[in-house]
Structure 1
Amino acid sequence: MKGMAPLTTPPRPADFAHVRDWVFDLDNTLYPHHVDLFAQIDRNMTDYVATLLQLEPTEARALQKAYYRDHGTTLQGLMINHGVDPNDFLQKAHAIDYTVIPADPALGEAIKALPGRKFIFTNGTVAHAEMTARALGILDHFETIFDIVAAEYVPKPAGATYDKFMALNRVDTAHAAMFEDLPRNLVVPKALGMTTVLTVPRNLEYAFSEIWERHGESDDQIDYVTEDLATFLQTLID
């Protein structure tokens, strides 16, 4: 990756000195992959597809993943191809146990200390983001949450959704950074002039990630990679 720091190299604070708007994805970004919260959502989505279309679990999962790959979210694929009610889908997808999320005081202190505004920009819902961020102990540090409803159900990585988020919050992309766990969701931010950071599982263990979610040598949209968001941010403010 051109210009991307290796995993073992901490970020240079000078590379982030210009940043005044800090934009964070939610799932597998603000909490680490090994918490595996999204696995609960993933199972709920598979069950939803199986019930809706009367499919066996393996068939439902294959279709769910195809919609996710092709449309950015399973929901978008279901809306386009089957006319599902997005509110019903989102409510059932996010019926999960949030108690598995450990509080992260170090992350909270690091986010709080960042200069400027902080946002959550998620393909999930505000309610899901609030529950997750509250469990982490970081909810109060964010300016606002931009969710899939605000995006009119058009998910990242669609350029129009980033434009909507940036315009609504008056984000100057030349002075902004984006943190994401999916490389494809950093393509637009990088093109807009944002500093980009990819969060990855410890030791790059993609136990439950699909091949199109992983990063590779051609991902020029990624400036930095981190396995530990709290430590990464702490490096910027020390």
Structure 2
Amino acid sequence: MTASTVTLTARPDFSHIETWVFDLDNTLYPARCNLFAQVDERMGAFISEFLKVDLAEARRIQKLYYVEHGTTLNGLMKEHGMQPDDFLAYVHDIDVSMVDPAPELGKAIDRLKGRKVILTNGSLGHARNVTERLGISGHFDAVYDIAALGFEPKPRATAYDRFLALSGTEPMRAAIFEDIARNLEVPHMLGMTTVWVRPGPPPGPDASIARHERLSHEGADGPHVHHVTDDLRTFLEAL
């Protein structure tokens, strides 16, 4: 299946699935809500204050660490010995009012047989904030955040290994839903069923778009993407 294929009405076989693993941002809510823009701005402000540099330098460091360390947080911890709690609390203190409540998505998740969990590079507080706004927090059995992952972010193999160990998940009986296609590479190798929740059309070469959004599409036509949908709720309702 290629990234141009959108699975909305097909009924793929998920009868073997016992654990349903959902990414949080741009997966459980539409990418057009653009919560990341707020997080991005607050990261720059935190780095500027923490490292005592101007905002331009803070932004350069922020993006450099994202590329070199998988997350800006990981870079700050490794390069500067920063403790993560204050950073996570600050950057995720955002307005989620642009996220619409999603009761129908909640019903679709509730109908899935087995455990439902969230696996996110964000914080536990951020996951609670978003899922409570969506009205779906009660449909998940657990949230595995960046702290639970030992601050090793997806798509690193160590993040998934830690998740599997903590949750007791059997990968051959698990399905994972992600908006960033490359984050499905390791789950595919582990034997998980993968679903790319496409966050909109791929950006053109001249588009002014955040690196995070461009990365969502990189490698999306690879064999690690088993299913594709533009609408998570509709996909789940079709199972």
Report the aligned-residue RMSD: 1.9
Aligned equivalent of 1:26: 24
Residue identity opposite 2:102 in structure 1:
D
User: Normalised by the size of structure 1, how large is the TM-score?
Assistant: 0.90
Residues 119-172 of structure 1 show CA distances to partners (whole Å, capped at 9, x for unaligned) of 001111111101110110110010100111111211112212211111221111
1:11 is displaced (CA, Å) by 5.9
Matching residue within 225, 229, 232 for 1:229: 232
Matching residue within 191, 197, 200 for 2:198: 200
Report the identity percentage: 44
Aligned equivalent of 1:183: 181
Aligned equivalent of 1:146: 144
* Equivalent-residue separation in structure 2 for 1:189 and 1:9 (angstroms): 19
Do the aligned partners of 2:199 and 2:216 also contact (CA within 8 Å) in 1? no
Matching residue within 78, 81, 90 for 1:80: 78
Unaligned runs of 5+ in 1: none
Spell out the pairing of 1:30-41 with structure 2 (5 A cutoff): 30-41=28-39
- Cα 1:34–1:217 change in 2 (3 A) is closer
**SS, match of residue 100 in structure 1:** coil
Do the aligned partners of 2:3 and 2:221 also contact (CA within 8 Å) in 1? no
1:90 is displaced (CA, Å) by 0.5
* Equivalent-residue separation in structure 2 for 1:69 and 1:22 (angstroms): 29
Aligned equivalent of 1:158: 156
Residues 59-88 of structure 1 show CA distances to partners (whole Å, capped at 9, x for unaligned) of 322321221122111100010111112011
Do the aligned partners of 2:6 and 2:228 also contact (CA within 8 Å) in 1? no
1:218 is displaced (CA, Å) by 5.1
Of residues 198-207 and 49-58 in structure 1, the stretch that sits farther from structure 2 once superposed is: 198-207
- Cα 1:160–1:141 change in 2 (3 A) is same
* Equivalent-residue separation in structure 2 for 1:97 and 1:212 (angstroms): 24
Do the aligned partners of 2:7 and 2:227 also contact (CA within 8 Å) in 1? no
* Equivalent-residue separation in structure 1 for 2:58 and 2:216 (angstroms): 20
Q: Give structure 1 regions of 4+ aligned residues with deviation exceeding 6 angstroms.
A: none
- Cα 1:183–1:103 change in 2 (3 A) is same
Answer yes or no: is 1:121 the counterpart of 2:119: yes
* Equivalent-residue separation in structure 2 for 1:89 and 1:95 (angstroms): 10
**SS, match of residue 98 in structure 1:** coil
Answer yes or no: is 1:209 the counterpart of 2:210: yes
**SS, match of residue 201 in structure 2:** helix
Unaligned runs of 5+ in 2: none
Do the aligned partners of 1:180 and 1:198 also contact (CA within 8 Å) in 2? yes
Of residues 88-97 and 59-68 in structure 1, the stretch that sits farther from structure 2 once superposed is: 59-68
* Equivalent-residue separation in structure 2 for 1:219 and 1:51 (angstroms): 41
Residue identity opposite 1:183 in structure 2:
A
* Equivalent-residue separation in structure 2 for 1:59 and 1:20 (angstroms): 46
Of residues 4-13 and 58-67 in structure 1, the stretch that sits farther from structure 2 once superposed is: 4-13
* Equivalent-residue separation in structure 2 for 1:181 and 1:29 (angstroms): 5
- Cα 1:213–1:66 change in 2 (3 A) is farther
1:215 is displaced (CA, Å) by 2.5
Aligned equivalent of 2:133: 135
